[in-house]
Structure 1
Amino acid sequence: MHQGKEVATTPEQLMRSRYSAYYFGLGQYIYDTHHQDFRGSVSPEELTASAKSTRWCHLEVIASSQHGTSGTVEFKASFIDKDKLHTFHEVSNFILDNGSWFYTDGDFKPKVSQKINRNQACPCGSGTKAKRCCFS
């Protein structure tokens, strides 16, 4: 999807591809999959810079639904900043426009942060200690 060879067929598929785009710093894809009526003044370059400055490490999809040309995906996405794991919880809204799904907006729940001990299991789920994985 990031290379334009496939398109998302469900809101959840689009949300997962957008998370991956944030992980890899693909600001143009993030921009292109955000419906033009909801983008505001953000540029692809700003999205790239923001995505690349964040150490994303985990995605959990809680629920997703699709009703005709609209859909929602509830998820938690986590990132590491210094010695803390930050998790934000969102219910994202999507619409089908001209055969393609687009993110519109979301309802954000309060962000949760917790200190991570370097010797505990890495929050990314690799099974290794944090100091040998995402905290290295």
Structure 2
Amino acid sequence: MTYTQAGLPHARPPARRMNTPRRLLYFQALENYLRSFQLLRGATPKEVRAHNHDFAERLDVCKAKGLKLPKEVEDYIRSPVRKKEYVRIRYDFRLDDQDTLDKMQRTMERLRGVVAEVEGTIGRAIEASNPDFIVLDGIKLTMIAGSATFKAWS
């Protein structure tokens, strides 16, 4: 099951419910997909950790390693509004303003689309690499047959 599949049942909250946990999970998924691409292209865990939650910086590194995303997806990730949003959304609990809730729902739709695009692109890159195993910090991780979109490792 992919991050997107796991999040879809929770993507449309009932009226007057906050989106903060869902937004946080989508941002975490976006970061994890970009981290996966870095590892796929040979980055060390230390290099991956060096970018913290800076999505634009991480995107630059992934592009330098060959990631190609549509311009509108890149623009969304690079938007100044995204800067440090992963951290800010942890503290956004406005439940009494319906206009704010409606705006958050619209931005959730766009965020979900961006994560789905990144997931598909990186999933295809992983499938195309078709490794039988990877070595991470000296540990050999072997592919598990029969996984869904992404290859699972043990």
Q: With structure 1 as the length reference, what TM-score do the two structures score?
A: 0.26
Q: Structure with the greater relative contact order (CA < 8 A, sep ≥ 6): 1 or 2?
A: 2
Q: With structure 2 as the length reference, what TM-score do the two structures score?
A: 0.24
Question: Could you say which structure has the higher strand fraction?
Answer: 1
Question: Could you say which structure has the higher helix fraction?
Answer: 2
